[in-house]
């Protein structure tokens, strides 16, 4: 039984819920539990969409600095791979993932939110990568996922300054996708996740792999990734179901196969 991270399933949506008082600082145990939860929801065919949530007060204040302060270069050289792998497990969930951001999403908390496909933030939420103020840089994907999302200049601004970005500015720069009243963050994320509930899960996974994989390669290679994913879907029941329903002007009922 996980201590700081739990998975709650309602309908076809799973919530990965962070719960490490007071600020959801992501220590080693929480990191491992996040990875285990990510792999579990990814493998569960009953789950069609996922919400990342830290509770009403805070999403996650970051990786636990108290654990890092005594670590040597040799220690971190070993642990940093594990740290990245734990967050990458979330990014590789082959289903739509929505981060419901309340309060602070800073450092590792921001990097965790970056692993989601979409981000819903409360009006008073603040996001940022303040690691520079500790004399270090983001180490759980921030220097890579952030510029891919908001562009290199904005990413450098946030990482060089370490400043906390308010929700309205985060929306304007594309760091979050929606801003809602604080009390409505989790509900808004669940409602968004529900829009994927009846969709073709195999096609969602293929689309996500094509998009994410294509971002890291040249255009020709990206097009080949797309072609292979596109062609492969013609071996699925869902593709036949969808195209038949279109031809017959009926609503498709996808099976996930």
pLDDT of 239 > 90? The answer is: yes
Closest CA to 63 of 36, 91, 92, 32: 32
Q: Which domains, ranges and CATH numbers included, belong to the chain?
A: 5-194 (3.90.226.10), 201-248 (1.10.12.10)
The answer to whether the CB of 165 falls within 8 A of the CB of 127 is yes
Chain segment 132-186, per-residue pLDDT in tens: 999 999 999 999 999 999 999 999 999 999 999 999 999 999 999 999 999 999 9
Percent of the chain with pLDDT over 70: 100
The verdict on whether omega for the bond into residue 22 sits within 30 degrees of 0, i.e. cis, is yes
pTM confidence score: 0.94
| Cα 174 → chain centroid | 15
For residue 78, what pLDDT band results from cuts at 50, 70 and 90?
A: confident
The CA-atom distances, in angstroms, between 232 and each of 18, 98, 103 are 36, 26, 42
């Amino acid at each position: 039984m996980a201590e700081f991270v739990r998975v709650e399933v309602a309908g076809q949506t799973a919530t990965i819920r962070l719960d490490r008082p007071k600020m959801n600082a992501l220590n080693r145990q929480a990191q491992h539990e996040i990875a285990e939860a990510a792999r579990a929801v990814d493998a569960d065919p009953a789950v069609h969409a996922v919400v990342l949530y830290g509770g009403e007060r805070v999403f996650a204040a970051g990786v636990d600095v108290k654990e890092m302060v005594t670590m040597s270069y040799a220690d971190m050289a070993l642990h940093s791979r594990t740290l990245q792998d734990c967050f990458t497990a979330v990014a590789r969930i082959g289903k739509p993932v929505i981060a419901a951001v309340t309060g602070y999403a800073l450092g590792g908390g921001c990097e965790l939110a970056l692993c989601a496909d979409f981000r819903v933030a409360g009006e008073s939420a603040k996001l940022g990568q303040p690691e520079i103020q500790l004399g270090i840089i983001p180490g759980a994907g921030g220097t890579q996922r952030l510029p891919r999302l908001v562009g290199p200049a904005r990413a450098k601004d946030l990482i060089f300054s370490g400043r906390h970005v308010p929700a309205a500015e985060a929306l304007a720069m594309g760091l979050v996708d929606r801003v809602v009243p604080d009390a409505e963050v989790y509900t808004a994320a669940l409602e968004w996740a529900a829009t994927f509930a009846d969709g073709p899960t195999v096609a969602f996974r293929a689309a996500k792999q094509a998009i994410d994989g294509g971002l890291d390669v040249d255009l020709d290679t990206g097009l080949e990734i797309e072609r292979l994913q596109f062609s492969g879907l013609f071996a699925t029941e869902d593709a036949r179901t969808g195209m038949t329903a279109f031809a017959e002007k009926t609503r498709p009922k996808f099976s996930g196969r």
